Every structure is written in C-alpha cells, then in structure tokens.
A and B are shown apart, each in its own frame.
Chain A
C-alpha cells in the first residue's frame, strides 16, 4: 500500500516536474521568437529607410549607412582592434563613473530615505541638481579637473547619481518599520540594521536605480567622449564621421546599442536574483 502510494507520488512528482519544464521551454521559445522578430523588424525598417533615401541619385552616399554596409564593416574594425579598444576605454570610464555614483549615492539615499530632517533639508537642492543636464557640467568639469579623463568620469557620476539616490530613498520609505522593532527586540546593533535589514530590504530598489543610472550613464558617455579624448566609442564615432567612413560609424552605433542592451540585461538578471518581491 505504502509502496503504491510512494510510486504514485513519484509519478505525480515527475509529472509536475515535466509540466514545469515544458512550460519553461515554451516560455523561452516564446520569448526567443519575440526577440528575433523584433530585431528583424528593426533591421527591416532600417533597410527600408536607407533604400527609400538612396532612391534619390543625389543621396547615393547614404548607402554606407545601410545594414549591409554596416555589417560588412564589422570585421574591419574588429581586426584592427578599434571596437575592443573603444569597449575597454568606454567601459572603464563607465565603471569608474557608475561606481562612484553607487558608492556615494546609496549611502546618501539611505540617509535621505530614513532621516526626515535630512530629506526636508536636501529635497529641493537634490531635485534642482537632478534637473541640470549632465552635459552642461562639461565646461565646468574641464576647468575643475586636470584631465579630460577625470572630467568624463565626473560627468558620468553626476548624471547617474540621482537615479541611485532617489531609488534607494524610495526603497527605504517602503521598508516596514516593524522589521526594525523586531530586530531591536532580538538584540540587533545599528550596523545589523544596515547590513541585515536595510540593504537586503532595499536591494531591489537599489538595483532598479542602478539600472536606470546605467542607462543614463551610457547615453552621457558618448557625447562626453566627442571632445578632448582620443579613445572610447564617442571618439570612434566622431573620428569615423570626420574620415567619412559612414559604415564604420554605423557599426560603432550598433555596437553601442548592443553593449547597452547586454549591460541592461545583466542588471535585469541581478534584479531578478536579488528581488524578494512576489507577484
């Protein structure tokens, strides 16, 4: 009797696991179809736009912007190492700028979300600073910092700090005050409140802020690299434009989009990994 029950429960369990796997495979296939169809649609619009523009004989030069010319340019800029160098340089600047924004922004966000008088005092200044276009800091950054490298990192940091600060603070405001009461009741010290309660509780919001910050930083870094420096994706685009190598220019543009997409996907995976919210 018990053997039969065990066998039956094993079959049921195998059936449930099989169903879950089947559902997961279906969902993956469904998502993959959407992913590729979306990309193909984008490519088709791009191709059609260039085709339509180049019907005019005076606009034939625009053929270098076409998908075919762009993808043909990739092996060239890969073999001469331009893409790898741009990726390394822009990536390093992005890492430093975003790293600084997180390092400064998360503690400020925690205090901003938790300490009422600090929030009342700094809400207006922070909102004011947030609305200043990051690129408008460029002339000031060039004067303040000795090199362009530091100025670009500053621009990325100043652009990306606000999403981190405000998301962290928003996360704090959603933290259940009873979690602190329970922790105090169980003997938690102030640093336990930060490391064991606050940080895990707000991790979802912090990572969401970092995701937004990354998007802003990746947008800001390209125009920031147009001037003063001789490396990075921004410089590569500007250099290609001046050399009239439009296929190369488009290849860099596509690379920027691809790198941004990959970085955003990593953020989404991290958010899924560290989110405890259900539903």
Chain B
C-alpha cells in the first residue's frame, strides 16, 4: 500500500446558516504539512465538526476555500476519506465486502480489490474475521473494519470525527495508537476532531483549539512526543496538563469585535 500525505490549506473559510445570526465560524485560516496528524479540539458547538465536514467535501463553506495539494475540495473524493463516530457498516456484507465497497464504486478489478482488501484487513489485524458478518463483531472490531474501509482507498487525508468516542476505554486506547502508527507508516495526513485532550495528545503531532462564537482557532500547540506514546509517561502527562490549561483558557475566549465586524461586512 503506497500512500502519500497532502498539504492542507484552509483559506478564509467561513460557514453561516441562514437561520442563525452568528456564523458557525468566520474566516478561518490553517495550514497542515504533508503527513501531519492534526487534532482540532473544542467544545460542542464551536464548529469543529462542520470544519471537518467541509474538509471532507460533504458540506460546502459559505466563504473561503480548502486546498489539498493545490486541488480545491468541491465534494467527496476517495483521496480524502472520513471516518465517523459510528462505523456505519453495511450489515448485509461481510468484513471483506465492507472493506472493498469503495473500490467497487471506483470499478476496480476483482483481483486488485481482493489484494488491496486483504492488505487493509491485515493492517487492522482482522484477518481471522475476513469472511465474518459485521454484525457478529464487537464495537472495536467494527470500527477497525471502518478504518480498513477508509485505508483501502489509499487516501492522502483521513478525517476522523470523534471516531472512538463510542468505544470502551481499552479498545479506544488501542485504536488510537494503531491509527497513529498506521498513518506514520503509510504517510497520510490525519485531521482529528475531538473534545478528548488525551486522544489529541496520543494521536496528534499538533493540536489546535477552536473556541468562541463564531468559532475560531484560538491556540495551537505542537505535540512533540516520541512514539509509541504511553498515557503513563510523565512527558505525555505534562503535555496533557499544558493542553488542558490552554483549553480551559480558551473557554473564556471572546473574538475581537473588529474581526466580527470585518466578517459581517463581507
């Protein structure tokens, strides 16, 4: 499996809904280099999930644009694939069929599909369940199938919308480590939306904090830690405490009036 990362450029991105007075977020700028794992942290309602949906091409921003290696995101593409909070697998398909479904949409040949699917299933360590019905798997195993279904497309960017929030603590910790390890081995970018500080510290190279109404990126912090990362490591705990303090500080953030006026006037 050969995957390259991508440079993500978010330029002046805004999102407003006609029914709301205040935009969800206003003129957001962000750059992420190829291969980076970026965590977007923020409280509910700050617009982080909306930002992720725009990155995935599922929703369109009202202003600004998103560029991936210079290509503007105008809709969904196998090059940028999203993993949701729940795995949303197709229950009438086996694990193998679920993992290969995106390749069948792209009209790949049967032999190539079989090879790539087998490799993706091996990556998420579900070889013994390849022919199982997905309804017979545990929540963690189902989320691994969803991960394999995303990886098989060889995306440049994997978008994760709180993907492990429904799992138990042990499974969540294992998957967080595995996803990071796979992304580093294969070289694709990750953009992770979460409100879990631990998750950001374990999975990301950099964390940005969104806050305010309209939402904005108010802080960012490099998560410069060696792999594999362990929650009990004092260095991990120190960084976690720093990130938590920054997050709490951001909770009191108010966007400057001038920025709001400039956004509203455009």
- Which of A99-107, A185-193, A242-250 is near enough to bind chain B? A185-193
Please, which residue of chain A has its CB at the minimum distance from the CB of B135?
Answer: A278
Please, which residue of chain A has its CB at the minimum distance from the CB of B57?
Answer: A185
| Inter-chain contact B149/A186, CB cutoff 8 Å | yes
- Other A-B contacts than A186-B81, A276-B135, 18 sampled, CB-CB below 8 A, are A178-B88, A181-B58, A181-B88, A183-B101, A184-B76, A185-B76, A185-B81, A186-B76, A186-B105, A186-B149, A186-B153, A187-B102, A187-B106, A188-B105, A196-B101, A196-B105, A197-B90, A201-B92
| Inter-chain contact A192/B105, CB cutoff 8 Å | yes
Q: Does A182 contact B (CB under 8 A)?
A: yes
Over the window 71-90 of chain B, the binary record of Cβ atoms lying under 8 Å from chain A Cβ atoms (1 yes, 0 no) is: 00000111001101010101
| Inter-chain contact A182/B105, CB cutoff 8 Å | no
Over the window 265-279 of chain A, the binary record of Cβ atoms lying under 8 Å from chain B Cβ atoms (1 yes, 0 no) is: 000000000001010
* B→A interface (CB under 8 Å): 56, 58, 76-78, 81-82, 84, 86, 88, 90-93, 101-102, 104-106, 133, 135, 149, 153
Please, which residue of chain A has its CB at the minimum distance from the CB of B152?
Answer: A186
| Inter-chain contact A181/B90, CB cutoff 8 Å | no
Q: Can you list 28 pairs linking A and B with CB atoms under 8 Å apart?
A: A179-B88, A181-B84, A181-B88, A182-B84, A182-B88, A183-B101, A183-B105, A184-B58, A184-B76, A185-B56, A185-B81, A186-B78, A186-B81, A186-B101, A186-B153, A187-B76, A187-B102, A187-B106, A187-B153, A188-B105, A192-B105, A196-B104, A196-B105, A200-B90, A201-B92, A276-B91, A276-B135, A278-B135
Complex CA distance for A178 and B153, rounded to whole angstroms: 19
| Inter-chain contact B92/A276, CB cutoff 8 Å | yes
Contacts of B153 in A (CB 8 A): 186-187
Over the window 183-213 of chain A, the binary record of Cβ atoms lying under 8 Å from chain B Cβ atoms (1 yes, 0 no) is: 1111111001000110011010000000000
Contacts of B133 in A (CB 8 A): 276
Contacts of A181 in B (CB 8 A): 58, 84, 88
Please, which residue of chain B has its CB at the minimum distance from the CB of A278?
Answer: B135
Least CB distance from A199 to B in Å reads 10
Least CB distance from A227 to B in Å reads 45
Query: Do A187 and B90 contact each other (CB < 8 Å), given the known contacts A178-B84, A196-B101?
Result: no
Contacts of B90 in A (CB 8 A): 179, 197, 200-201
Overall SS of chain A's interface: helix
Q: Does A79 contact B (CB under 8 A)?
A: no
| Inter-chain contact B105/A185, CB cutoff 8 Å | no
Please, which residue of chain B has its CB at the minimum distance from the CB of A181?
Answer: B58
| Inter-chain contact B101/A176, CB cutoff 8 Å | no
Please, which residue of chain B has its CB at the minimum distance from the CB of A275?
Answer: B92
Contacts of B101 in A (CB 8 A): 183, 186, 196
Please, which residue of chain A has its CB at the minimum distance from the CB of B153?
Answer: A186
Contacts of A179 in B (CB 8 A): 88, 90
Please, which residue of chain A has its CB at the minimum distance from the CB of B93?
Answer: A200
Contacts of A187 in B (CB 8 A): 76-78, 102, 105-106, 153
Query: Do A189 and B105 contact each other (CB < 8 Å), given the known contacts A181-B84, A201-B92?
Result: yes
Please indicate which of the listed interface residues B58, B86, B90 has the most CB atoms of chain A within 10 Å of its own CB.
B90
| Inter-chain contact A185/B82, CB cutoff 8 Å | yes
Contacts of B86 in A (CB 8 A): 178
Least CB distance from B43 to A in Å reads 24
